[in-house]
Structure 1
Amino acid sequence: MAKQERAARTRETLIRAAAEVFAEQGFVTASIAAISRRAGVSAGGLHFHFESKTALARAVEDRASQALRRVTTERWGAAAAPSGAADGNALQVLVDSSHSLMALLASDVVVRAAFGLCADVSRTSEVDLRRQWRLWVEAVTRAAARHGALADGLAPQDAAGVVVASTVGLQALGADEREWLAPHALTRFWALTLPQLAAAGTLGGLAPEGSAAHPGPVPD
């Protein structure tokens, strides 16, 4: 059991070290030698757990995908079934989850690195975090439309497009300037956007800074 625990700890150390190096250097420039040095693990030890740099990148992306699910479908269980999300105010669910996502990007290098890896055209990834986020946003905006929470005449796909483009844009800018991931940056976006997205009867109950129940990121 102790041997298995050590192996698990080493694997976690390697994933975090890889994420740090990928975030700093990008996938192409990052080397196995740099990752093993950052982790304090020999190259042989690294290859015992991961056969290649590509396998390390996939592990980083998988870990980030799990974290993203925690701030969307798993954390907001109602949102996993869109009609349930709408019962709990789908637009506020969306606002709160976007705040959780930005907080996670600001605090977790694995998530930051994985979003960068997914956008790297030099490689093909089986995990697409931006697509994962987009599909969830689209489901929630469809739920909002079904329950009359969207502004009259606004198509849910158009609402989702605005939200996805803006939040992914903040993520991309935040990779170099962390200020873009700060809560006030996202709050400003929602303060400007919600009056255009929300039905008149819904807008007054929405908090662009996040609701009182907004819990922040789940620690790893």
Structure 2
Amino acid sequence: MTKQDRAVRTRLALIRSAAAQFEAHGYVRAGLARISAGAGVSSGALHFHFADKAAVAEAVEDAAARALREAAVRGHGGDVCALQRLVDVTHRVARLLCADVVVRAGLRLNGEGAAGRVRDLRREWRECVQGLLAEAERRGELAAGVTPQRTSAVVLAATTGIEVLAREDHEWLARPSLTDLWRLLLPCLAAPRLAGVVDPAGSEPVRSDPAVRGPVARDGQAEAEAGRAGLALR
């Protein structure tokens, strides 16, 4: 293993350790000593990679943001109806949150503005939901009188509430929980021709896919490859 590869691995270990500390103790109470110890490195190694705790938190947010954007982008395009893709992306994000502490911690840090508001992940989620509902309207997939604006407010409130509740109990992110939500919503939202067509449990098979392996693993590979090419990644 080259020196550069070791540096990448150390940085990623620090991000994951920091995420675990932020999730368990919150930004204020999470200490740099615990973060470095959790990564199995010295405090000096931590400061080589990050100037301070805010920089560590920003790195956690960055990793989470990339993973969430990838999950959202996979909900666009294709022949599947827009409403089904909306259902699918909520299940995909739930699996991601359940599987990866970095995503959970990054979303929580971003919501609390702990590392400064460089980005707004909840706004990005809102735009994803609104975009899919607008497409559903254009395709005639929404029931009469149902508008993307009013519907997005309901979906956003429900999904955000589930994410907050899941901080104490991950069962809220389980497939049955989201399936029950969509079983209640879809009869009110979907055009009659789609009755029984849109699967509230999601149309994607549950498997270990790239979106669930974790942003740190993917970023690590990208950063290692960029490092060998002499590039800098933020």
What residue in structure 2 maps to residue 219 of structure 1?
A: 213
Shift of 1:155: 1.2
The alpha-carbon distance between structure 1 residues 192 and 200, as it changes in their structure 2 partners (threshold 3 A), is: same
Residue 116 (str. 1) matches residue 108 (str. 2): yes
Aligned to 2:60: 60
Counting matched residue pairs gives 212
Q: TM-score, normalised by structure 1?
A: 0.91
Q: Which runs of 5+ in 2 are unaligned?
A: 215-234
State whether structure 2 residue 175 is matched by structure 1 residue 175: no
1:200 Cα shift? 0.9
Write the mapping of 1:197-208 to structure 2, written as runs, cut at 5 A.
197-208=189-200
Deviation of 1:120 (Å)? 1.4
Q: Select 1:141's aligned residue among 133, 138, 141.
A: 133
Q: Please show how residues 53-202 of structure 1 align to structure 2 within 5 Å.
A: 53-73=53-73, 75-76=74-75, 79=76, 84=77, 87-120=79-112, 124-202=116-194
TM (normalized to structure 2)? 0.85
Identity of aligned residues (%): 47
1:10-54 CA-to-partner distances (Å, cap 9, x unmatched) read: 000000000000000111111111111111111110010011111
**Match for residue 224 of structure 2?**
none
1:178 offset after TM fit, Å?
1.0
Q: What's the secondary structure of 2:145's corresponding residue?
A: coil
Deviates further, 114-123 or 168-177? 114-123
Tell me if the contact between 1:22 and 1:30 (Cα under 8 Å) persists in the aligned partners: yes
Is the partner of 2:103 in helix, strand or coil?
helix
Q: Distance in 1 between matches of 2:212 and 2:99?
A: 10
> Equivalent residue for 1:10?
10
Letter matched to residue 182 of structure 1: A
CA displacement at 1:121 relative to structure 2: 5.1
Question: 199, 206, 210: which is aligned to 2:202?
Answer: 210
Query: Residues of 1 paired with 2:136 and 2:105: CA distance?
Result: 31
Alignment partner, residue 36 of structure 2 = 36
Secondary structure in structure 2 of the residue aligned to 1:72: helix
After TM superposition, which residue ranges in structure 1, 4 or more long, deviate above 6 angstroms? none
Verify the 8 A CA contact 1:21 1:35 in the aligned structure 2.
yes
Equivalent pair of 1:14/1:46 in contact (CA under 8 Å): yes
Q: State the AA in 1 paired with 2:44.
A: G
Structure ranking higher on relative contact order (CA contacts 8 Å, 6+ apart): 2
Q: Which one is further off, 129-138 or 113-122?
A: 113-122
Distance apart, 1:214 and its partner CA: 6.2
The one-letter amino acid of 1:64's match is: A
Residue pair 1:62, 1:127 contacting (<8 A) in 2 also: no
Structure 1: tracts of 5 or more residues without a match: none
What's the CA shift string for 1:72-105, capped at 9, x where partnerless?
Answer: 11x24xx1xxxx46x5200100111110111111
